């Protein structure tokens, strides 16, 4: 009987150790899951933060590029206005050549003022309105430009 008692005692200790190992493994798995979840949330937060920073930087660059383009358009407008003044000063003031030079100078001045006062967004909107208003003429202009450009490449 003493042998059975020892065997039973060993079995009980093994079962206790197995149960303890089971509980420890379960606890470790639970902690690992919590840690993995926490790391996942932190990684998601970091990715979101980085994406936001990149988006803000891209928006800043786009805004800067838009401002530079508008400044360039305004500079072209200023140049056109100066050219109009030069045409008025140096071209004949009388006769058919004087009338043509005056018309060219007026056109340059008007175009220059428009470019100085409006940005690319306004110009695009106005161009879209013109195309909607005169679709046939717009198509004819596009085809004509295509023909001229195509002929110059031969």
Give me the number of domains the chain comprises. 2
My answer on whether 110 and 128 are in the same domain is no
Mean pLDDT of 52-70: 82
Same domain assignment for residues 48 and 66:
yes
Q: Distance between terminal CA atoms of the chain?
A: 113
Confidence grade of residue 34 (pLDDT, cut at 50, 70, 90): confident
Same domain for 149 and 75: no
* Pair of tokens at residue 106: 């007026």
Domain check: are 137 and 97 in the same one? no
* DSSP conformational letter for 94: S
pLDDT tens digits along 84-117 = 899 888 888 888 988 898 998 999 899 889 888 8
For residues 35 and 61, state if they share a domain.
yes
Using a cut of 0.85, tell me whether the model's pTM lies above it. no
Q: Which two tokens stand for residue 119?
A: 């940005």
Q: Are 106 and 131 within one domain? A: no
The answer to whether residues 125 and 102 belong to one domain is no
Euclidean distance between CA atoms 136 and 90, whole angstroms: 39
Q: Look up the domain containing 125 and give its range.
A: 119-154
């Amino acid at each position: 009987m003493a042998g059975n008692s020892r065997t039973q005692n060993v079995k009980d200790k093994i079962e206790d150790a197995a149960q303890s190992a089971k509980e420890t493994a379960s606890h470790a798995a639970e902690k690992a899951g919590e840690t993995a979840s926490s790391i996942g949330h932190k990684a998601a937060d970091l990715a979101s933060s980085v994406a936001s920073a990149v988006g803000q930087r891209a928006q800043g660059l786009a805004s800067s590029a838009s401002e530079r383009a508008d400044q360039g358009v305004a500079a072209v407008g200023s140049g056109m206005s100066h050219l109009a003044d030069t045409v008025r000063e140096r071209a004949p003031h009388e006769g058919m050549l004087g009338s043509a030079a005056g018309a060219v100078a007026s056109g340059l001045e008007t175009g220059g003022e428009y470019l100085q006062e409006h940005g690319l967004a306004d110009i695009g909107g106005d161009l879209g309105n013109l195309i909607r208003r005169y679709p046939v003429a717009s198509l004819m202009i596009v085809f004509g430009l295509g023909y001229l450009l195509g002929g110059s490449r031969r």
